[in-house]
Amino acid sequence: MSANITSVLKESRVFPPSNEFVGHTLVNEAERHRLCEWAASDFEGFWAAQAESLHWFYKWDKVLDWSNAPHAKWFTGGLINASYNCLDRHLTTARKNKAAIIWEGEPGDTKTLTYQQLHHQVCKFANGLKQLGIQKGDRVTIYMPMTPEAAIAMLACARIGAVHSVIFGGFSAEAVADRNNDAKAKLVITADIGWRRGNVIPLKQNVDAALEKSPTVEKVIVFNRARNTGVHMKPGRDIWWHDLMSDVSANCPAEHLDSEHPLFILYTSGSTGKPKGVLHTTGGYMLGASLTHKWVFDIKDDDVYWCTADVGWVTGHSYIVYGPLANGSTVVMYEGAPNHPKEDRFWDIVEKYRVTVLYTAPTAIRAFIKWGDEHPKKHDLSSLRLLGSVGEPINPEAWMWYHEVIGGGRCPIVDTWWQTETGAIMIAPLPGAVPTKPGSATKPLPGIFAEVVDKEGKVVPANSGGFLVVKKPWPSMMRTIYGDDQRFKDTYWSNYPGIYFTADGARQDEDGYIWVMGRVDDVLNVSGHRLSTMEVESALVNHPKVAEAAVVGRPDDLKGEAICCFVTLKQGNAPSDSLKADLKAHVAKEIGALARPDEIKFTDTLPKTRSGKIMRRLLRDIAANREGAQDTTTLEDYGVLAKLRADEE
Ligand code: PRX
């Protein structure tokens, strides 16, 4: 659970929708009420009407098939294409020459693509994919820096019905190999390098290492981000992006795909060591992403919208690429770190492009607070009209700072709760309709039936803690875990049959506002990134000197949670600072820099129950320096606890 519980419990401030929004918003209070009632009384009719906002080659036969629950089929028989919805349908409108993507690289280079230009590039690249033998249903790994080419690659896959699996550029070669193998990817699209805080991320080199263990991959397309980096190109396997694009036609009609055709796989951490390939399909996902983008961000045609996530995460999929482009928005995309070359980089971008809607994460907001108000204050942020937050609970202090210092006290904040699995925002205020309370994602969106329940599935009384669940299916819900349907059923649908289990703890206040507290499983939220404690443990025990490891989260002011590892060494190995450094580097190499442990504690034994289960709650208390108020009667070895505490002093 998160660190913010106490401050959140005391929170009582309420911010009603501002005058700028009431009356000018897409969804006002009365309209929200009407939509909620409609969804409650005519669930399928409600969703069918919303789906009219997309372009269908053939409108569905049936809105929802839930007969094989928990496997939902939405808009069955419908024919649709995500890339067509994001591009082609704007070309016959005034949006044709509107900026689709305004991109800025970390070194300061820039590029703008209109909808027409983006369409041209996507069509050519899609033909390039076909030329390399990629067909409908083939899996394609995308391991790219934050450049427009990442979006082009995704949309080109979608255009021909190939299923993309985007891997965040911060993941290691090992992680890329695991995901290639799990998805049986046929092709990898990457770049020579990526830029991060002035440093080079050797993407192609990582791919080369990954491909030694990825037998299914036949070809690699390499985008030349930095030129002259001298990467090795393997003849017959590797091809430069620009070479592929030099000789292909720009005529590539979008495939008419079944509404349930897979659009992408996105790996995310669960409570075991093996990441889950969350599978999303086309029609329902596109509806969820585009509708929520329009509603929650109150998107207008003249908005300049910037979501600061990476396309490697679900936020980048739904709110940089598919949602905003389907709505014909102008999207700002930035490649690098928020503090490069200086701590005002974000505010420089907001000022330069006159950003109107900004969507970022609490971990970034906490870093900005730490860096000082002078950085945003140097810039004219008056273009901003709406601010968003995602990825973890936002503490009221950070919310207030965001509201006042960035939003000048005038911009509503939409705190959006959702997950990789949900595909789109589920709980969030609609800015012209719902008063906000700092730290609460407020209420479920129309059509979403989320509740807080106890172990038996009974709704808990106001202000009591419970589990967040979703009682009805929704269009952008995940369809399965790729290659492991049993895990899909066990993880999300076995606690409460027919009801989706989010694995988040929450409470609902007397006004029905939902306050999400954090995960109730062994998933950490480190700087808004999901990591399983077991993944880090498996990486640690892979090290030749490690006998056993237990990993827990510790509250951290900046990262939300820090990674704290308890490690026992194999006989004959002595604890040392250099071994600590070695183990941290080892985990970063196995998973990626985002998983680098913050703390390693050596111990002779780990506290276990008589049945041999590691007592994580105790370790969490030790990691957080809390006095344990917990029941220790099931502890196998009381001495271990005393010793771990003593080592703490
Ligand atoms: O614990 C919740 C937290 O992030 C988890 C989902 O992580 P991921 O699949 O990586 O998706 C992140 C971006 C959608 C959730 O189970 N979380 C996400 N948004 C919020 C949040 N917790 C509280 N408030 C939020 N707004």
Q: What is the pLDDT of residues 611-646, one digit of tens each?
A: 778 888 889 989 988 765 556 666 666 677 767 776
**Residue-level pLDDT at 2:** 41
* pLDDT at 550 exceeding the cut of 50: yes
Q: What is the arithmetic mean of pLDDT over 198-213?
A: 96
- CB atoms under 10 Å from CB of 523, counted, come to 21
Residue 254 burial (C-beta neighbours within 10 Å; 0-12, 13-18, 19+): buried
**How confident is the model over 46-64, as a mean pLDDT?**
98
Asked if pLDDT for residue 525 goes beyond 80, the answer is yes
* Distance (Å) from CA 315 to ligand 1 centroid: 10
Residues 6+ apart with CB under 8 A from 378: 344, 347
- Is the preceding omega at residue 341 within 30 degrees of 0, hence cis? yes
Q: Which atom of ligand 1 is nearest to the CA of 313?
A: 10
What's the token pair of residue 530?
């999901």
> CA–CA separation, 4 vs 141, rounded Å?
37
Ligand 1 binding pocket includes 561 (Cβ within 6 Å): no
Phi and psi dihedrals of 170, rounded to 5? Answer: -85, -5
Mean pLDDT of 596-618: 88
pLDDT tens digits, one per residue of 342-368: 999 999 999 999 999 999 999 999 999
* pLDDT at 107 exceeding the cut of 70: yes
What is the overall mean pLDDT for the chain? 94
- The answer to whether 32 and 40 have CB atoms below 8 angstroms apart is no
pLDDT > 80? residue 298: yes
Name the residue with tokens 């299914």.
216
Domains of the chain by start residue, with CATH: 5-81+261-518 (3.40.50.12780), 84-255 (3.40.50.12780), 527-648 (3.30.300.30)
Residue among 488, 477, 54 nearest 260 (CA): 477
| CA 442 – CA 436 distance, rounded (Å) | 7
Residue 558, phi then psi, degrees to nearest 5: -95, -50
525 lines ligand 1 (CB under 6 A): yes
pLDDT for 513:
97
Length in residues, the chain: 649
Give the residue whose CA is nearest to atom 23 of ligand 1: 393
104 forms beta bridges with 110, 334
SS3 273: coil
Checking if the pLDDT of 292 tops 90, the result is: yes
Half-sphere exposure for 34 (CA within 13 Å, toward CB): 5
* Dist. CA 91–CA 100, nearest whole Å: 12
Q: Ligand 1 centroid vs 479 CA: distance in angstroms?
A: 19
Q: Is the CB of 418 under 6 A from ligand 1?
A: yes
The Cα diameter of the chain in Å comes to 74
**Across 17-26, 182-191, 488-497, least confident range:** 17-26
User: Over the Cα atoms of the chain, what is R_g?
Assistant: 24
**What's residue 498's pLDDT?**
94
| Confidence category of residue 541, pLDDT binned at 50, 70, 90 | very high
Mutate to test the pocket of ligand 1, among 268, 366, 418, 440 (most ligand atoms within 8 A of CB): 418
The pLDDT value given to residue 635: 63
Relative to the CA of 417, which ligand 1 atom is closest? 26
pLDDT value at residue 8: 63
Q: What would the pLDDT profile of 398-429 be if each residue is shown by its tens digit? A: 999 999 999 999 999 999 999 999 999 999 99
Nearest CA to ligand 1 atom 19: 391
**Joined tokens for residue 248:** 């292909």
**Whole-angstrom Cα distance, residue 130 to residue 260?**
22
Instruction: Tell how far CA 515 is from the center of its chain.
Output: 19
Under the banding of pLDDT at 50, 70 and 90, the label for residue 55 is very high
pLDDT of residue 445: 98
Cα of 441 vs centre of ligand 1, distance in Å, is: 11
Q: Is 441 in the pocket of ligand 1 (CB under 6 A)?
A: yes
Cis omega (within 30 of 0) for bond into 555 = no
- Once rounded to an integer, what is the mean pLDDT over residues 136-155? 98
- Measured distance CA(142)–CA(403) in Å, rounded: 36
**What is the reported pLDDT for 636?**
61
End-to-end CA distance of the chain: 25
Quote the distance between the C-alpha of residue 295 and its chain's center: 19
pLDDT of residue 228: 66
Q: In the prediction, which pLDDT does 649 show?
A: 45
Q: Are strands 480-481 and 276-281 parallel, antiparallel or unpaired?
A: antiparallel
296, 417, 317, 359: which is closest to 86 by C-alpha? 317
Assign 3-class secondary structure to 617-632: HHHHHHHCCCCCCCCC
Per-residue pLDDT reduced to its tens digit, 322-335: 999 999 999 999 99
- The predicted structure's pLDDT at residue 372: 97
618 near 607, Cβ under 8 Å?
yes
pLDDT reported for residue 92? 98
The helix/strand/coil state of 431 is coil
- d(CA 485, CA 492) in angstroms, rounded, equals 11
- Residue 123, SS3 per DSSP: helix
Cα 392 to ligand 1 centroid, rounded to whole Å: 5
- What pLDDT score was predicted for residue 609? 80
Question: Rounded to an integer, what distance in angstroms lies between the CA atom of residue 67 and that of residue 73?
Answer: 9
The answer on pLDDT for 648 being more than 60 is: no
> 211: how many CB neighbours lie within 10 A of its CB?
21
Run of H or E including 575: none
Round to whole Å and give the CA distance between 640 and 638: 5
